Structure 1
Amino acid sequence: MEDSASGLKLLLSYEVLDTKLQAYQQFVIQQYVPAMQMMGFQVSEVWHTAYGEAPNRLVGFVCRDRQTVDDLLDNEMWLTLNSQLEEYVTEFSYKLVPYQRGVFQM
């Protein structure tokens, strides 16, 4: 995403269940990310927390404008994807922040 002035970042945070790691990875790569791309989002980063109290995954998706976010949040596919994701994770949450290129955001 070239223009960071108007971009937004959707941050997903969750704890991947160790017993479902392989199935989680397949689901995210084969279904979650492609569906998000179809809805106007691109993966900006994926972080793994190896030590500490934070959930072990932080995933960022960026988009160009607020309308793309509003369309996502009103889309049944978004609810379905997250319902399916919750089969592999706990402590799922998300938030929207202004996109800042090259800056770690939480």
Structure 2
Amino acid sequence: MASFQHIRPRYKLILFYNIKRDKQDQYYRYMLSHFVPDIQKLGVYMHMVWHVAYGDYPMRKIEFVTESAEILRRLFLSDQWDDLESKLQQFVDDYERKVVDYRNGFQL
């Protein structure tokens, strides 16, 4: 399995959301033991996690990177992604996702 250090990122998958106050423990357990490891097995690697402490924005922004649009296409068409995303949404509110061309640093 490749790691982020050994790929040439071309795209970012960015997730924005607020963690539900009463679901924080379950959220962290899910992300660390299922979501992140499972998505990385599919060729999409966690790059950065941002906590937004001020303003009218979702408090969490997570960036994943990958080498190709084909990897993202396969991810989004997979039943596994449907399950991962659906489960994540049980722990968060105001969920959004988007794909952008990779650029180093903070991107919206």
Q: Report the Cα distance in structure 2 between the residues aligned to 1:97 and 1:66, rounded to whole angstroms.
A: 10
State the superposition RMSD in angstroms. 1.1
* Structure 1 unmatched runs, 5+: none
Q: Which residue of 1 aligns with 2:98?
A: 95
Q: Which residue of 1 aligns with 2:83?
A: 80
Matches within 5 A, 1:9-88: 9-88=12-91
- Letter matched to residue 12 of structure 1: L
Aligned residues: 103
Q: Report the Cα distance in structure 2 between the residues aligned to 1:3 and 1:39, rounded to whole angstroms.
A: 16
SS in structure 2 at match of 1:22? helix
Query: Runs (4+) of structure 1 moved beyond 3 Å?
Result: none
Q: Given the two structures, how large is their TM-score scaled by the length of structure 2?
A: 0.90
Residues 56-98 of structure 1, C-alpha deviation per residue, up to 9 Å, x if partnerless?
1000000000100100010011111111111110111100001
Q: Report the Cα distance in structure 1 between the residues aligned to 2:82 and 2:103, rounded to whole angstroms.
A: 26
Q: Given the two structures, how large is their TM-score scaled by the length of structure 1?
A: 0.92
SS in structure 2 at match of 1:104? coil
Identical-residue share of aligned pairs (%): 30
Q: Report the Cα distance in structure 2 between the residues aligned to 1:69 and 1:42, rounded to whole angstroms.
A: 11
